Amino acid sequence: MLTNDVLDKWDRESFFHPSTHLAQHARGDSASRIIAGARGSHIIDRDGNRILDGFAGLYCVNAGYGRREITDAIAAQAAQLSYYHAYAGHSTETSITLAKMVMDRAPKHMSKVYFGLGGSDANETNIKLIWYYNNILGRPEKKKIISRWRGYHGSGLMTGSLTGLELFHRKFDLPLSGVVHTQAPDFFRRDDLTQTEAEFVAQCVQKLEDLIAAEGADTIAAFIGEPVLGTGGIVPPPDGYWQAIQAVLDKHDILLIADEVVTGFGRLGSMFGSDHYGMKPDFMTIAKGLTSAYAPLSGSVVSAKVWKVLEDGTDENGPLGHGWTYSAHPIGAAAGVANLRLIDDLNLIENARTVGAYLKDGLVKELGSHPNVGDIRGDGMLCALEFVKDRPTREFFATDQKVGPQITASLLAKGVIGRAMPQGDILGFAPPFCLTTIEADEIITKTTRAVVEVLGKE
């Protein structure tokens, strides 16, 4: 077996990591961790540390680690038929079964699922299909996409443009033209602290209306949003936000893409964020929870209204010129089928709802009155704490104090993974759905100790 030193050397010499400070990593200035195994809600690293994964990888290992039901299904599929493509009407029993399972769970007005590999490529597919849709409808000017600041939709050329985080644009010549951003529905970060939630929603709606008026409704094809802002800080929408936004979109004939990559398949304690918040999307992006990350697989779910136009398009133009070699890969599909069955069999969505609420309530009880905890928010198995220098004025800490990363590091040293969300001093949790109340208690106790260690008691 290779020693940790050798692996560390090879890693720094050869491995180009995503979302990493490349120079620090290459120099060996930053911490690295080699993961060796995982079970349930815990990962085990090569130094033998067993760590409670309060973020389920990248909020994706929803069913928990080491599930034999899923790994056996993958092995059986690999032995039986490791690959066949899905072009020109080809399928496998597994990919057909998964498509049926997805559509049985999706809102009733949705019609078909196109399978890809990850959330980014699924959103690229959505945008291409939306452009195609408006070309078929004879309105070639209606192409722009509205996204939101603090939204995350991937890091490709188009999806990185949709993402409303500066780090994903700077020096990459993004966003591409045709993508415009509107206000994030982040009530805690509202400019005017005297505003009520209803007034803030009215402001978000007004800003959207103003943007549509400035660009021209006949140039705007779609609006994309995560039901709950994820990477932008784990921010559930203010009450009534989605109903109000949906009304504006309907009025201007603008399609809605619900990016359900994080929220899909139960993270909010409902099957989809769209069900949870009463959204009626024309497209849904799915990935992570589709297979609980046992294999890469994503999907673009399209509504019956969109599907009809796509069908007409191929009657006019011939086969759709869009596809990936690995679309509907049978091994990913096998992971998806076994994962969705397991989630049902173990009633994991209900567990996400109840244990998620238990976790958030516990954090509020222990830290709700701490002078540097400005906000504790969440929904289902998704929650976050946002730290401030001064609570009454909501003054933030200077970025270079790195308060969020310090608390996250202190928590990790105690054996719990939380995520220092990049857009502020925000500690995020998105544990596997199988989290127990005992494990939730461990997160609560150790988070409290980490906060007190970094910020003191008062």
User: Which residue ranges make up the site for ligand PLP (CB under 6 A)?
Assistant: 58, 118-120, 123, 152-154, 226, 230-231, 259, 261-262, 287
- Name the minimum Å distance from CB 57 to ligand PLP: 10
In the complex, what is the shortest distance from the CB of residue 224 to ligand PLP, in angstroms, rounded to a whole number? 9
Q: Position 444: which residue type?
A: I
Instruction: Quote the CA–CA distance of 216 and 207 in Å, as a whole number.
Output: 14
CA distances 250 to 229, 253, 336, Å, are: 22, 5, 33
Q: Considering only CA atoms, which of 353, 334, 261 is closest in space to residue 101? A: 334
CB nearer ligand PLP, residue 231 or residue 274: 231
Nearer to ligand PLP, 421 or 451 (CB): 421
Q: Which is nearer to ligand PLP, 224 or 427 (CB)?
A: 224
Q: What are phi and psi of 21, to 5 degrees?
A: -75, 100
* Smallest separation, CB 332 to ligand PLP (Å): 12
Rounded CA gap, 399 and 419, in Å? 16
CB of 162 or CB of 306, closer to ligand PLP: 162
Residue 183: CB minimum distance to ligand PLP, A? 18
Work out how close the CB of 272 gets to ligand PLP at its nearest, in angstroms, rounded to a whole number.
13
Residue number with CB closer to ligand PLP (154 or 164):
154
Residues 6+ apart with CB under 8 A from 181: 146, 147, 148, 149, 151, 164, 175
Q: Is residue 123 within a helix (H) or strand (E), and if so which, with residue range? A: helix 119-136
Angle between the 330-345 and 93-105 helix axes, to the nearest 10 degrees? 40
Rounded-to-integer distance, Cα 399 and Cα 395, Å: 12
Say which residues have a Cβ less than 8 Å from residue 345's Cβ, sequence separation at least 6. Answer: none
Instruction: Give percent helix, percent strand, percent coil of the chain, each to the nearest 5.
Output: 45, 15, 40
3/19 with CB nearer ligand PLP: 19
**212 or 417: whose CB is closer to ligand PLP?**
417
CB of 318 vs ligand PLP, minimal distance in Å: 29
CB of 130 to ligand PLP, least distance (A): 16
Residue written as token pair 């103003």: 210
Using Cβ positions, the residue closest to ligand PLP within the complex turns out to be 119
